[in-house]
Structure 1
């Protein structure tokens, strides 16, 4: 390639290096991404490239919906602009394989759109330097995506089958040590098992779970991972089938087909099956262990709605020690004063929070005063919003305008509201029907924001 020869003569083609691992349960020391970065250095050196920046996602899945990858987001941003954060020009990316970059079609589309935004870009891996603009390379990328998606489905099925086979044999649950048992997951922990047994007896006798949680806190009890007990965790502990020796898998009690009896685990039970059924009867179905979690079926048709308007739309814009941006979701929580009775805070890095009313007000400004014309809500929607639109419809309106908003950390000690902290990521096209299809026409909004400057007029021909 011509670009490759020019790069060698000028000291190397400037590229960015990307590495990602998805294993988050066993080793968290980042050795996987370090190894990939070293391979990328060797690959770049062998093919006449010069790495000017590195982006990593340690323990981040690329196949799960809603997974946040700060390193990948920074990579796409850099490729789109052609420059890194410190202003260095880049002409491509080096990676150990395509499946480190993407495992979903939408990520492939975003990556290739950013990489091919300018001519002369290259993609480099241990197999060589390739032209991402060529149809052959795009076809190769699509094939690699199909292979990655197939591998993900097969691996998920193998893991699911492995857990089921262990459950049928009565093997204890994998993962962290369950509260009430020793490290072998078979022998009872004398202190914790006694606490569970007493909690079950108290609950059947009519005692509130919050009172049991307060008692455990006063005794200095902590969970197996160091957390303080609360009503939710104690409910989950008491209603788990394991406390009476039963084995469950993916939210279902396993039954022996020969006898119709529940599968018994190999561990020592804390209470009898009759006591377990009695304590479960004191809770509504939605609170039971058997009906909790993403994989467990729920008997109730009620779904938990977000408690605040901006929940799910805000992402943390704090910069981490390695230079990457956090990108974690900001969750609603109780505020500290009357002006901000609630706030949105990042639970990942805990370095960014914003007043709830400020964030909601900033979102409203973005929707109706700064949104680009192709996603700007109609004048009818704006009036209904201010006349008392339901929160669910408001959230649908927000989702039609922005994919999410990045919240920059505030200035410590500042008591003024800064709406510019909320930076929108606009949608390419609104999922709602365009104004022309609804019989509306766009006309300038008098006195409005010079960049927004649009409103929806009343339907024509009426």
Structure 2
């Protein structure tokens, strides 16, 4: 093995233990973590090691992008430093299985870079000691990642099919109790159902939904989770297909394959299908439950599952901050409200929160990047292509051009105390490799 440590005479190799559970909603007592920690301690002892620190993440997913794992992040930082917070030397990591540490390629890369940041480290699991410096050790980690990804995809497809099959049979949702029904999700709640029925009638008659929400608040009505009703929640309650007995799944109204008629649930309806269609007609398409309901994708008029962007750079910017292990964050930057007239909105990294840039500055930099491109110089579309008038580029048209030319843009962190606008902070990553050398930055 390449540079692996061996226990000194009479001594043990100091290693750290990592444990993670994906969910803990049944007993909520952390028993899964305790079991993994005990197994790690036994494994370390069997391999001539001793656990000097424990890192754990309870109820944290390693599959979803952007999921927060404080224990894993602390482990990466301490591996790079070579010591724990209390000064204990780290010479290895013990874990019950690879998929507890990583289920995404990004996490695998970060973990191995941190683990091998110093010489003489080991990785231990119940199968024995692994050499993280040898090609075989890395290949074994990659194979474990492939198995974890395949397992996640199969499980996701199985769960999705299970929910769809239940929906087709008209079985009620297994989530929180819907407003208007009893705990069995089938029998009507007398008071809440009466409120929903009256609200639907008032809305069809022209009453503003905000007035209905205020009336509910005045009556002391609360949602099934204890929240106060507002215009959006009342809209969702009234436009949910459930109120007329129809069953939907992931934002799609289900229909019988043989007859084409909507699938009806096993619960008691509050209003008729005609009344439900009538109240839905009083709202815009983007406000309906089928577009914005719990667990349903947010749809636009084009049928896409992403909401309509309000800024030019939304969805195109990635964080260029450098982590402690030397890797680039590359997290998506989201739009937030700014604090000045010059920057009424800003783009901020949602992963590390260490990189932020003025929204108007970033959008202006994007237009500068594209100003030399031939497709940007062509005649702008008419009114159908964008919100602007004919002869002007609208936001959607600009974003369409950006998406066709750029993969994304990397935003370098600004200098503290420097308030001047620096357009070169926005670095384009072109879809065509030939363009890479021609326009790497904009001055």
Provide TM-score, normalisation by structure 1.
Answer: 0.70
Counterparts of 1:249-264 in structure 2, within 5 Å, are 249-264=249-264
Counterparts of 1:344-363 in structure 2, within 5 Å, are 360=357
Counterparts of 1:382-393 in structure 2, within 5 Å, are none
Are 2:303 and 1:268 equivalent residues in the alignment? Answer: no
Q: Which range moves more in the overlay, 71-80 or 332-341?
A: 332-341
Counterpart Cα distance in 1 of 2:228 and 2:24: 23
Distance 1:156 1:436, change over 3 A: closer
Counterparts of 1:41-56 in structure 2, within 5 Å, are 41-56=41-56
> Aligned residue for 2:232?
232
Distance 1:126 1:159, change over 3 A: same
Distance 1:8 1:199, change over 3 A: farther
Counterpart Cα distance in 1 of 2:344 and 2:298: 35
> Aligned residue for 1:138?
138
SS in 2 for 1:9: coil
Are 2:63 and 1:59 equivalent residues in the alignment? Answer: no
Where does structure 2 lack aligned partners over 5 or more consecutive residues? 320-330, 373-394, 419-424
> Aligned residue for 2:93?
93
> Aligned residue for 1:292?
292
Distance 1:306 1:145, change over 3 A: farther
Q: Deviations for 1:41-85, whole angstroms, at most 9, x for unmatched residues?
A: 222222222222222222221112232322222222222232333
Q: Deviations for 1:154-183, whole angstroms, at most 9, x for unmatched residues?
A: 111111111111111111111111111111
Indicate if the aligned counterparts of 1:8 and 1:48 stay in contact, CA closer than 8 A: no
Q: Which range moves more in the overlay, 335-344 or 214-223?
A: 335-344
Q: CA RMSD, aligned part only?
A: 4.6
Counterpart Cα distance in 2 of 1:194 and 1:343: 45
SS in 1 for 2:117: coil
Are 2:281 and 1:305 equivalent residues in the alignment? Answer: no
Distance 1:432 1:14, change over 3 A: farther
> Aligned residue for 1:21?
21
Where does structure 1 lack aligned partners over 5 or more consecutive residues? 315-327, 348-352, 366-376, 385-389, 406-416, 420-425, 443-454, 458-462
Q: Deviations for 1:374-432, whole angstroms, at most 9, x for unmatched residues?
A: xxx99x77x99xxxxx99899x99x7445x98xxxxxxxxxxx989xxxxxx9999679
> Aligned residue for 1:370?
none
Counterpart Cα distance in 1 of 2:240 and 2:187: 17
Distance 1:30 1:218, change over 3 A: farther
Provide TM-score, normalisation by structure 2.
Answer: 0.73
SS in 1 for 2:7: helix
Indicate if the aligned counterparts of 1:3 and 1:120 stay in contact, CA closer than 8 A: yes
Indicate if the aligned counterparts of 2:300 and 2:308 stay in contact, CA closer than 8 A: no
Distance 1:427 1:103, change over 3 A: farther
The number of equivalent residue pairs is 395
